[in-house]
Amino acid sequence: MSQTPALRAVLAVASECAPLIKTGGLADVVGALPGALASQGWAIRTLLPGYRRVLAALGKPRVVRELPSLLGSKARVLAANVDGLDMLVLDAPDLFDRDGTPYLDANGNDWRDNDLRFAALSQAAALIAKDGIGDWTPEIVHLHDWQAGLTPVYMSELGATQPTLLTIHNIAFHGLTGYNRMRALALPPSGFHPDGFEYYGHISALKAGLTGAWAITTVSPTYAQELTTEEFGLGLEGVIRARAAQMTGILNGIDTDQWTPTSDPAIVPFSTPRGKVANTVALRAEFGLAPSDGPLAAVVSRLSDQKGLDLLLGALPALLDGGGQLVLLGSGDRRMENDWLNAAAAHPGQVAVRIGYDETLSHRIYAGADAILVPSRFEPCGLTQMYGLRYGAVPVVARTGGLADTVINANAAALAAGCATGIVHAPKSIAALAHALTHLCRLWHDRPAFQRLQRNAMKHPVGWEASAPLYAALYGQLAAAHPESS
């Protein structure tokens, strides 16, 4: 009788992971990868900071390692299984037991010790790589963004030799801190140089990962190309170009078990565009919008300049003049929050805004909206447009990053060929976005054409079926290149 082969071990290191703690798409990806990779022969344990909300979700965890002095803080590593995820949690009260978000205090300012907090996470990861947890030792260490970027430095100092993979979810955040923090972070002076973690006289945790990891991925093929340019590389394009041979763009996916319109408990289930109607009626009622002979567009987003929502304010008349309406759910920049609240006050019955984030409400928005708007100035991958595709909310997106990789523009040729799934606009300007919104309204009034667009969107693959094998193959290549590989 044949036995099922044992899964090979991966340690993932991240600052957030859904469903335990989430501020954006990073958490969704970190939470989805273990399930996606298990079918490919790899078992991921995820190391996460012990924020209050995370500790509350663990139930009765096991203490698997005591760390009496982790960069000056008393800590321990807890193990638990949460919603099928194998979690390792760094319980360090001095660093993580506090109000606010993972990165910001209650006033919306960065925690002043963020460098120390995530350096401790990275050092804990290096210790786990070196010594393992019981009889479990990772074969690969997979790092996510700058918060895990110092891990290769600490691994080198400890003599941990496993291959490391860094995934860039957003290069805009470098994890910068001053040179005067070298001793507090226990960083070796030998690494402070242009080919190491030095960045214009500062320490860059992200650059440490970019120069120290065995391989690099980012979350879409187009973003991988964009990062080699000055416009998108944000000061690290030279490092990216130097490591181009070790870099791959692998498109994110979404958890299609959690995002399925035929069985989503938050909505009236549907399987066709016509089946969305009950959700559209309910969404208008929930947001206080009157019935309208035009498309109901939606935004579910962090409110920031990156997301292009200031451009959408400028282009809003094109949507409203075409008979459209808009619902917006999001939070972020206080100035932008106020601008959107003012827009709602200026257009009662046409624009409705909810400041904050509500996961369940977001499901209702995708189910009820005719279109989802993502006018980002840059977007490494984006999951919003994928949720829109899945729920028949036609994506209207900027031609950048993963948006360009996931949406087929409804130009004349694609409409004639029957393959269009959304509307793609460029350049990233008010005029281009306004033209796209006008196109949306015109398409919406051609009901057969618009429903074909929705059906195409709902059939478009958005899960991990294509990307999981790419990660698995990369893990395998890294493991095979390890001198201690069997």
Could you check whether the bond before residue 19 is cis, i.e. omega within 30 degrees of 0? yes
User: How far apart are the C-alpha atoms of 376 and 172, rounded to whole Å?
Assistant: 14
| Span 458-469, average pLDDT | 96
Least confident window among 24-28, 171-175, 250-254: 24-28
Domain limits for position 410: 273-459
Query: In this predicted structure, what is the pLDDT of residue 1?
Result: 46
Inside any domain, residue 260: no
Average predicted confidence (pLDDT) for the chain: 96
Same-domain pairing of 198 and 283: no
Same-domain pairing of 157 and 286: no
pLDDT > 80? residue 186? yes
**Annotation: binding site:** 22
Inside any domain, residue 125: yes
User: How far apart are the C-alpha atoms of 244 and 114, rounded to whole Å?
Assistant: 29
CATH of the domain at 344: 3.40.50.2000
Same-domain pairing of 80 and 136: yes
Q: Tell me the pTM.
A: 0.93
pLDDT > 90? residue 23? no
Inside any domain, residue 171: yes
Same-domain pairing of 43 and 192: yes
Same-domain pairing of 99 and 138: yes
pLDDT > 60? residue 211? yes
Query: Do 468 and 39 form a contact (C-beta atoms < 8 A)?
Result: yes
Inside any domain, residue 69: yes
Query: In this predicted structure, what is the pLDDT of residue 271?
Result: 97
Same-domain pairing of 199 and 339: no
Cβ neighbour number for residue 83 with a 10 Å cutoff: 11
| Span 42-58, average pLDDT | 97
pLDDT > 60? residue 238? yes
Tokens of 154: 């600490």
Inside any domain, residue 261: no
Our count of domains for the chain comes to 2
Query: In this predicted structure, what is the pLDDT of residue 116?
Result: 98
Same-domain pairing of 383 and 402: yes
| Span 98-127, average pLDDT | 94
Query: In this predicted structure, what is the pLDDT of residue 203?
Result: 98
pLDDT > 90? residue 437? yes
**Annotation: binding site for ADP-alpha-D-glucose:** 22
Map tokens 């870099």 to a residue.
247
Least confident window among 3-12, 51-60, 91-100, 371-380: 3-12
Inside any domain, residue 16: yes
Query: In this predicted structure, what is the pLDDT of residue 157?
Result: 97
Torsion of CA 216, 145, 139, 117, to 10 degrees: 150
The region that residue 454 occupies, defined by phi over 0 for left and psi between -120 and 50 for alpha, beta otherwise, is: alpha
Same-domain pairing of 195 and 249: yes
Query: In this predicted structure, what is the pLDDT of residue 31?
Result: 95
Query: In this predicted structure, what is the pLDDT of residue 3?
Result: 56
pLDDT > 50? residue 121? yes
With bands split at pLDDT 50, 70 and 90, how would you rate the model's confidence at 24? confident
What percent of the chain has pLDDT above 70? Answer: 99
Same-domain pairing of 320 and 425: yes
| Span 125-143, average pLDDT | 97
Same-domain pairing of 156 and 220: yes
Same-domain pairing of 438 and 469: no
Query: In this predicted structure, what is the pLDDT of residue 8?
Result: 96
Inside any domain, residue 30: yes
Same-domain pairing of 342 and 388: yes
Inside any domain, residue 1: no
Query: In this predicted structure, what is the pLDDT of residue 6?
Result: 81
With bands split at pLDDT 50, 70 and 90, how would you rate the model's confidence at 485? low
pLDDT > 60? residue 195? yes
pLDDT > 80? residue 294? yes
Nearest to 405 by CA among 427, 390, 422: 422
pLDDT > 80? residue 295? yes
With bands split at pLDDT 50, 70 and 90, how would you rate the model's confidence at 108? confident
